[in-house]
Chain A
């Protein structure tokens, strides 16, 4: 086994996990919402970019921002649908509603894009960097760089800006924030739109690595969930570190043991963490740190 190459793979996959999870981390921390439609939103982002490129002939660089825009609109639509449930913090029903939302996206994507596997092609995927021992594509470098920028940007907004303070206040106590005179609904709208935009952005950067199918959402969401839980629920910095560690773990597990059982082994890892540190699963405290 080429250890250095697996290490590089792990870092790349880890950044992919972290970037896919970042929207959900914020959503969970700020709105206490578990989005089971997250995987389908990822799928949608990848397919919208693919469709824009194959149907209209747009270049990859133009398809990415448009797919992000569609993702943000999807997030906003979701917020409009679920506003009442979010404000009343009806968490059980919210969770089921997000599953239904994912089902709608999957059905709509099947009708619109068909059942065949497709390939989202990025021109950067063909450019190989590095030497004989360790190599990666320019797309991977872009992915890692973009992830770092998104996490630093989110950290700055949450800790340093007035808007970030509003988000933290809504996360802490929505009724109190409203009493203070803060308009809560636009803050939720922004959080949901960020979730949609972030996962679509992640999809456009990550999806060129593998073929895409309209059914990929079901499995996709599991890694995100593990990142969010291992990182400490709602913790932005934590999910970056967790994504990175999980990427290294899966890279070495697939190389040393078996790629087919990677998801199962990650699940086992999650259970070990839950047994050793059960407090990690309680949603409290760690938001925006």
Chain B
């Protein structure tokens, strides 16, 4: 397809338009808009983790903290300081970058489970600080976030109802998809993959693994923070429940369910999971149970994701080289 850039572009544009009209095609009720907006926000959040998990091959458990950082920064700037949503957006990105820089430097020399443990502990510490520091609202959180109002020159846009949120969430999702696709083709994305798959080769090519890891971390954190920024407005409230493991497991499952390093994978995975939660909910505990079961089931039955099943059938022939755990996850 890459030989016909115009055709490819038209295809992507048609798909993007179809995606935008999707809530209307599904009936256009407030519940449908709300669900799809939430799917867009949470899959944007998952993409932040996706590039760490799929490209760098590490499991960051601090991405709920980046997500929450974005939400808290927006809430504090808009509610406590009366700033605009744009300032909230900038604050969310800057705060997430600052946190990612600190965490990135701390975890620079840790690998594998040590990295995961330290990022997990960091998320718990962030939650503790949010619950105890009055500046961050303490255990009550921050309430009364106004409807999202975006002003661009003479054009202004206010989103209060679910249907009005959808365009913003959808644009955010498209932007994140674009960033992730660009990242995968960028020099940094290639370097991340090489550091992950073959650290010795990367070292011989003159790549500084620690620097690559830090840079990928810095790209990834604002993505999750952007999602947090919009989520704060959608829910009109931020609190320590943003750090809940449910969000963490949701992100991980979203990334793994379809298969790693698939551009639309996290979107597909998140849509499936939230579709269940919003249309066939079993209550908060039942949904947590379903989520955990899906995650364990996928990892035990087809660790390379659902897409690998489809591919195996589509291309009969010699098996892919079976490194332990597969070439992507090893």
Contacts and interface: CB of A to CB of B under 8 A. Distances in A.
B308 interface: no
A225 B286 contact: no
Interface string A257-289: 000110110010011001000100111000000
Nearest to A80: B300
A99 B253 CA distance: 10
Given A260-B128, A264-B125, A229 B114 contact: yes
A261 B128 contact: yes
B112 A106 contact: no
Interface in A99-142: 99-111
B4 interface: no
Contacts of B317: none
Interface residues of A, number: 47
Q: Is the interface of A mostly helix, strand, loop or mixed?
A: helix
Contacts of A51: none
B5 interface: no
Given A96-B59, A99-B249, A106 B116 contact: no
A225 B131 CA distance: 21
Please indicate which of the listed interface residues B291, B292, B294, B325 has the most CB atoms of chain A within 10 Å of its own CB. Answer: B292
Given A96-B59, A104-B293, A271-B106, A222 B124 contact: yes
A88 interface: yes
Nearest to B138: A260
Contact of B288 (A92, A107, A221, A271): A107
A101 B106 contact: no
Interface in B215-257: 244-246, 248-249, 252-253, 256
A225 B329 contact: no
Interface in B273-298: 283-296
A263 B285 contact: no
Contacts of A212: none
A235 B61 CA distance: 25
A12 interface: no
A110 B292 CA distance: 13
B211 interface: no
Interface of B: 57-59, 61, 106, 109-110, 112-114, 116-118, 120-122, 124-125, 127-129, 131-132, 244-246, 248-249, 252-253, 256, 283-296, 299-300, 303, 324-325, 329-330
Given A92-B325, A99-B248, A267-B122, 14 more contacts: A36-B120, A81-B300, A88-B324, A93-B325, A95-B113, A97-B300, A100-B292, A102-B292, A103-B249, A104-B293, A106-B288, A107-B286, A260-B132, A281-B114
Interface of A: 34, 36, 81-82, 84-85, 88-93, 95-97, 99-111, 218-219, 221-222, 225-226, 229, 260-261, 263-264, 267, 270-271, 274, 278, 281-283
